Amino acid sequence: KPLKQRPSTVDKQNENMLQRDYFIRIIEEFMAALSRFLEKKVDERTDEDLKDLYRQYVGSYDVLRNLSFDEILVYASDQWTAAERISRLDMLAELLFAEGSYKNAPLRDMLLTKAYKLFDYVEAHGTVYSLSRRKKMQQIADMNLSPTDAAEKKGSADARN
C-alpha cells in the first residue's frame, strides 16, 4: 500500500504564491473596471453598472451599501479570507467613494463618511501606503458633511497623529 505523501513546503509556497498572484490580478482588474465606470459622464453612470462592480468584486450591493461600518467589519471577517480582507475593504471603500462622488446629500454624506472610515481602517491595518487613498481621505475631510460626520473623522485622524 503506497504511503500518502504530505504536501511539501514548496508546494504550499507555490500555491500561496499563485493565490496571491491571482488576487493581485483581481485588484488590477477592479481598478480598471472602476476607472471605466468613473470615466463615464455622470448621467451615463447607472446603478446597475455599480451593482455589477459590487457583485463582481466585493459582494451584494444591497447588503454592503446598507451595512454600518462595524457591520462591514463583521461581514469582512465572515466572508473574506484574512489574506484578502484589507484589499476587499479597500475596494469597498473605493466603490462607496465613487458612488458618493456623484450622489446628492444626505446619501452622499453617508456614503463618503463610510468610505472615509474604511479608508482609515485600511490605512491603519494594511501594509501598503497609498497616496491616492490619503488624497481621497483629505477630499472627504474637506467636504462640508454633517457636524457628527466631521467630528468622527477628525477624531479618527487625530488618534493616528
Range picked from 18-32, 124-138, 144-158 for highest mean pLDDT? 124-138
pLDDT, the chain, mean: 85
Question: What is the DSSP annotation of 30-79?
Answer: HHHHHHHHHHS-GGG--HHHHHHHHHHHTS-HHHHTTS-HHHHHHHHHHH
* Separation of alpha carbons 126 and 116, rounded Å: 15
Looking at the chain, the whole-number percentage of residues with pLDDT higher than 90 is 61
Which residue has better confidence, 113 or 42? 113
| Tens digits of residue pLDDT in 55-106 | 999 999 999 999 999 999 999 999 999 989 999 999 999 999 999 999 998 9
**At residue 159, does pLDDT exceed 70?**
no
Residue 42: CB atoms within 10 A of its CB come to: 9
Range in 12-16, 29-33, 95-99 with the lowest mean pLDDT = 12-16
**At residue 139, does pLDDT exceed 60?**
yes
DSSP-derived 3-state class of residue 127: coil
> For the whole prediction, is pTM greater than 0.95?
no
Average pLDDT for residues 98-119, to the nearest whole number? Answer: 94
Torsion of CA 27, 158, 73, 135, to 10 degrees: -20
Torsion of CA 131, 135, 137, 138, to 10 degrees: 140
